[in-house]
Structure 1
């Protein structure tokens, strides 16, 4: 089977007519300038050493070189083979806190943006795992079921904001229960012969307003689900900005007494959940290595084989075309523009052209 892998490369063929147009334009402009400087009668004598045939050959070689370079860039492929590709990893739910306190700017640009940036980085560093995205605050909502498509995962991560759930607050218990249901609905079915390692990664500022999270974490751990938590924000805390529909700052959130609300991060609730869930707790810092530590912890867990697919491998044949293009381009460089054996007058003596 013959095919081109990169059909978009043929868009560069527009360079070929450009070479013709540019060459014609500069040749005409050069002639006009010389005629203006030395006169139209003297110009044919002084330019008679130039071989128009050689110029044409050079232009044709330039076009051929570009043509073969474009063909090589299009990656022609001929011949194919089948290869078995196994997908191994763990099932992970990213549970991201989207409560209003996550918009605090005690870390720049804000807590939620920092969490999203690090989760996107984590997705890039752990291919093969099945990941689901869940947003939670006062309630929880599964945005993306378990999938090993990194582009889709990152799209859902980037879409996270305070409007992803209908209820504000922070309810870890609801988040854990929703994650458990997501595993049961979209994960690999388990029995006595198949065991799947499951992980819940909670990214939050840790302000839990509902009881029961530690007990829920313990029950999940008993069923084999590990819980890792990451706290975003600072112990000093910060105010919660209030913005209009255009994103401009209107002020800061205030309590019923008219005082500005300061949200601080202790991490106690997140640490307790991680301990109950037999996982790890990390306090996120700007430029810190919490992502690396998380990756190490997850990589140490037992992997499960998911899908086995047959991938078609095509043989690349661009090398010969690239070599031809290089040879033609090199040959074009060594072709001069002077006529061979041309002799011109220099003073009283006839001298061979150099």
Structure 2
């Protein structure tokens, strides 16, 4: 093979490596197919307290309460594949962060990016604040999908610090709209300080009591959470560390269908493996050529043997 031809082959091989690498990154696909999807009959509506008290450092040692909530909800979504999850967050107001969806990746992202109210936002904690919106969301879900079972998971610390003289709203009206659920409590009765900074690292100090100027201590009201659980007729679980949610998920008794009854999602034939195979072959050829070049250079640099020298 002439040097010119060899040089052209080297260039073509390296261009091929670059193109194959780009193809792997782009994940090429062709055609159309259907993939069976495991579906559950559950709609899980998660209600999360996002008031500043959820920043208190009394979960699993000195971890923010909201960190425990995020870990538990991610684990719960993983334990209930195929279920539809919705997220309702409450503070000064209640809002539907995410409507019911079987996209657990989107749910995990919504949970991970859930932010707490600032130290001076809102008007105190009220554990019953989400009742009206919770009722409305469940009633809409019942109208739209009467054949599905709805589960409510309430996650909070139970604090009531608004100073209101009004009787708290009851969750009893919600009970008839759900087939089960749980109340998950975070924090301790001894309480903990609340970091001032948004990232909850304590770099800006801690929230202070406006009346005393001392570090404010948020104390969970576990008794109030037990009352909410009784009104909903669901179990209460005091969460003090990650893990251990498998029995709770199992108690929801989800039933599944594997893509039957038209439950299939469209998909394409993935050709990434083919591009990766081409890339591997070209890289191996490049390594072989490089290794041969090294040995050729080594032989060229060795001193010539004198005539008559013994081998």
Bigger radius of gyration: 1
Q: TM-score, normalised by structure 1?
A: 0.64
Gaps of 5+ in 2: none
Higher relative contact order (CA 8 A, sep 6+): 2
For residues 331 and 84 of structure 1, do their structure 2 counterparts lie closer, same or farther at Cα, with a shift above 3 Å needed?
same
2:289 aligned with 1:332, yes or no?
yes
Task: Provide the rounded CA distance (Å) in 2 between the counterparts of 1:114 and 1:243.
Answer: 18
Choose which of 134, 154, 173 in structure 1 pairs with 2:128. 173
Task: Provide the rounded CA distance (Å) in 1 between the counterparts of 2:130 and 2:100.
Answer: 16
* Corresponding residue of 1:203: 155
Choose which of 230, 237, 247 in structure 2 pairs with 1:282. 237
**Partner SS, residue 86 of structure 2:** strand
Task: Provide the rounded CA distance (Å) in 1 between the counterparts of 2:121 and 2:138.
Answer: 22
Choose which of 166, 170, 176 in structure 2 pairs with 1:222. 176
* Corresponding residue of 1:113: 67
Deviation, structure 1 residue 232: 1.0
Whether the 8 Å CA contact 1:99–1:169 is kept in 2: the answer is yes
Choose which of 122, 129, 149 in structure 1 pairs with 2:83. 129
- The C-alpha deviation readout for 1:19-53, integer Å capped at 9, x for no partner, is xxxxxxxxxxxxxxxxxxxxxxxxxxxxxxxx978
Choose which of 278, 282, 293 in structure 2 pairs with 1:321. 278
Whether the 8 Å CA contact 1:233–1:265 is kept in 2: the answer is yes
- The C-alpha deviation readout for 1:274-300, integer Å capped at 9, x for no partner, is 2442322221123x32433433333x2
Deviation, structure 1 residue 155: 3.8
CA RMSD of aligned residues (A): 4.4
Whether the 8 Å CA contact 1:81–1:312 is kept in 2: the answer is yes
Whether the 8 Å CA contact 1:62–1:332 is kept in 2: the answer is no
Deviation, structure 1 residue 75: 4.8
Instruction: Decide which moves more: 68-77 or 275-284.
Output: 68-77
Task: Provide the rounded CA distance (Å) in 2 between the counterparts of 1:62 and 1:117.
Answer: 48
Q: How many pairs align?
A: 294
Whether the 8 Å CA contact 1:61–1:328 is kept in 2: the answer is no
* Corresponding residue of 1:153: 107
For residues 71 and 325 of structure 1, do their structure 2 counterparts lie closer, same or farther at Cα, with a shift above 3 Å needed?
farther
Instruction: Decide which moves more: 246-255 or 270-279.
Output: 246-255
